[in-house]
Structure 1
Amino acid sequence: MDRRGVRSWWNAPAADPRPPQRVWRDWALLAIVPVLVAVETLLRTDIPSQWPWAVLLVAVLPATLWRRRYPTAVLTTALGAGIVAGQLISTDLALVSAAYLLVLVYTVPRWGSVRSVLAGAVLLAIAVLAPSAVGAAPWVDAWGSAAVVLTTSTLGLAFRWRASSRARELERVRLLEGERLARDLHDTVAHHVSAIAIRAQAGRTAAASDPAAATDALQVIEEEASRALDEMRSIVRILRREDEPELAPLPGIADLSTLARSGTTVPVEVTITGNEAAVSPHVGAATYRIAQEALTNIRRHAQGATRALLTLRIDALAVHLEISDDGRLTHDPPSRGYGIAGMTERAALLGGRCIAGPGQTGGWIVTAALPLTGSPE
């Protein structure tokens, strides 16, 4: 690890996600510990009077409210108070209820920064080993205390790692969901807007000589705009996390024929063979979206195209999709868009593949192969 890496590690912030300010467990601790300390002090007749220690334990207890925000400072306060009290009180602390102080030991590795954890480790090592080092206590007591402290600290680190791992997984899920919604938004909007643009151009051309054709174009534009708005509202409801969003059913293979006729000036010939019922819904939806993007690209980029072919074959293992046209590309395949990338990602997420490229005799060909049941992440 180089110097910058060491500095970054040394300056690493406290645990993520950040700790809560106050939770019900804090107030339960404040309510229960004084009772336990008092009851134990009254009932323990096998040890010397522990009332001075009981007062100290209750006096230190309120500091636990700030243990997550200032873990090392609170631990230092408790250890310092215990050391000073040990010099002033003639008896040793023998109350089992003092075990609540282990909460402070747990808190340092659970919520503290790297510097806090290291400082806490040094403080605990001194507090545990110093009495035996100066001969005030046998070493067996030191090793026993060290085992308890080490176990408690390990629990803190384990819960910290678990929370951090869960936060990273949630962030990964959010990113994947965002990518999925971005693909859906791109596919639906691009499809409908392309149809609107094409019909608007046709309507403007026909407005002077054929008012009826212009009216038909306006009707198609209205229908496509309505569909685009409906689908965008569905996606927005998901993003806003409404309780019961009214989502349309997933599109699938049965909708491909309707898709081929939707707002296009290029005739699309659809051929479907195989058992459609064997295709799982999410694979059918991915197939539909890939076909939708491919047909949108034909409308936008296939200059002079007179027809397009959509062939779907379903066998025992996979769905095989091929879409081609006989046009000429208006320019090189768009490198700044997201259509081809979206089709490739959709196929990859299901364990399949999608390839798009120019045909040998002209036009553009999109082929995809998706497993029947898929393997969604």
Structure 2
Amino acid sequence: MRELLGSWWREPRPAHPPPRGWRDGALVALLAAAGLVEGFARWGSLPSPAVVPVVIGVGLTPVLLWRRTRPLLMTVVAFPVCAVGEVLVHGDLGLDTLAYLLLVVFSLSRWGSGRAAVFGAAVAAAKITWSAAVGHLDPDDVLAGAGVVSAALAIGAALRWRDRARRREFEQVKLRERERLARDLHDTVAHHVSAMAIRAQAGLAMLETRPSAAADALRLIETEASRALAEMRTMVRALRHDEPADRLPGPRIADLRQLAGRTGPGPAVEVELVGDLDGLPAAVAATICRLAQESVTNARRHARDATRITVSVVTDEDTVRLRVSDDGNGPTRPGPDGFGLAGMRERAHLLGGSVDAGPGRDHGWTVTAALPRAVA
């Protein structure tokens, strides 16, 4: 309990309370009119002089304009003024319209700091206690007033914590989306830039002996650069909030065939697709494509003396399996952890799947992944 009270005492004000708008002005005008109407309608039954309750009821309505930005100050102004009014009329003010002061009490715990809420609650409690001590309120009225004030404070605190929980959830969603876009950006850039680097090396090696082959390499570099720019523009649109990221077109299983049949240096890529892959959910298809793309890129970079990279995607009723292997003399153990393998594992884990990578049984390096075919 002590820790709870201490945490509330140290609670700062919310960063960005809603600004004052036309609705606040309309509310003040409506309550002021209601106070005038009630005052004239009950003029004979209000404590004498009746003008005091009416003036206080109407005159305090502007405190609602600053209830979010200065809740403690508005509380310190409103409740002592009501106490002075009770002294002038020698009893309770009796104006029902003054119930709008509960909005000020609510704002203490909703928009004020922890200290402001404590001090403001103490001011309201002191006013109720004083009214009871001088005989302006009956015991039943004291209990009812304390209960209503406590309820207003509790509702304000509950809405405050609810808003904070929603903000935390929203920040987590944004973080997950940023991680997803970071994985896509890494995979796209790594794949296309790696291909361009390989083509450029080949073009330089054949520039003097085979100029036509060097020209072919330049054309392939241009194609890879165009694809990389197109995918990066798609991601930039998502980052700039012009388009929801989950509605952007993602890679499809059929796009894996683009990995195969390329001419030039480096190992050839063979793609094998087995099973009904047309009906895969978009998230599964995109993940399989990204995993295959990253695995092929890593094989081109690190598989020494490799002549062939094999990409196999097999599906049944429940699972989609990916296997990417090469016949090179790759490392016998993984190198330092980078973003590639970590991103591959994150992708698979988000869909309830798994990724394993390690040396092949006889040679090379093998990456295997298994994803559930049905994804919520």
Give the TM-score of the pair, scaled to structure 2.
0.92
Spell out the pairing of 1:13-28 with structure 2 (5 A cutoff): 13-16=12-15, 18-28=16-26
Shift of 1:354: 1.3
What secondary structure, in the 3-state scheme, does the structure 2 residue paired with 1:128 have?
A: helix
- Deviations along 1:313-367, one digit per CA (max 9) or x if unpaired, are 1011110111111222369634352111111111111111112222232322111
Spell out the pairing of 1:130-279 with structure 2 (5 A cutoff): 130-133=130-133, 135-242=135-242, 249-261=249-261, 265-279=266-280
Give unmatched runs, 5+ long, in structure 2: none
C-alpha distance in structure 2 between counterparts of 1:315 and 1:118, whole Å: 63
Letter in 1 for 2:316: D
What secondary structure, in the 3-state scheme, does the structure 1 residue paired with 2:260 have?
A: helix
Shift of 1:243: 5.9
Q: Given that residues 269 and 307 in structure 1 are in contact (C-alpha distance below 8 angstroms), is that contact kept between their aligned partners in structure 2?
A: yes
Give the TM-score of the pair, scaled to structure 1.
0.91
Q: Name the CA shift for 1:313/1:22 in 2 (closer, same or farther; >3 Å).
A: same
2:292 is matched with 291
1:12 is matched with 11
Q: Given that residues 259 and 271 in structure 2 are in contact (C-alpha distance below 8 angstroms), is that contact kept between their aligned partners in structure 1?
A: no
RMSD: 2.4
Size of the aligned set, in residue pairs, is 372
Shift of 1:133: 4.5
2:326 is matched with 325
Give unmatched runs, 5+ long, in structure 1: none
Spell out the pairing of 1:80-99 with structure 2 (5 A cutoff): 80-99=80-99
C-alpha distance in structure 2 between counterparts of 1:233 and 1:262, whole Å: 25
Letter in 2 for 1:13: P
C-alpha distance in structure 1 between counterparts of 2:252 and 2:345, whole Å: 18
Shift of 1:130: 3.4
Q: Given that residues 301 and 331 in structure 1 are in contact (C-alpha distance below 8 angstroms), is that contact kept between their aligned partners in structure 2?
A: no
Shift of 1:25: 2.6
Q: Name the CA shift for 1:132/1:6 in 2 (closer, same or farther; >3 Å).
A: closer
What secondary structure, in the 3-state scheme, does the structure 1 residue paired with 2:256 have?
A: helix
Q: Name the CA shift for 1:369/1:108 in 2 (closer, same or farther; >3 Å).
A: same
Which has the larger displacement, 83-92 or 72-81?
83-92
C-alpha distance in structure 1 between counterparts of 2:56 and 2:292, whole Å: 74
Q: Name the CA shift for 1:327/1:7 in 2 (closer, same or farther; >3 Å).
A: farther
2:301 is matched with 300
1:353 is matched with 354
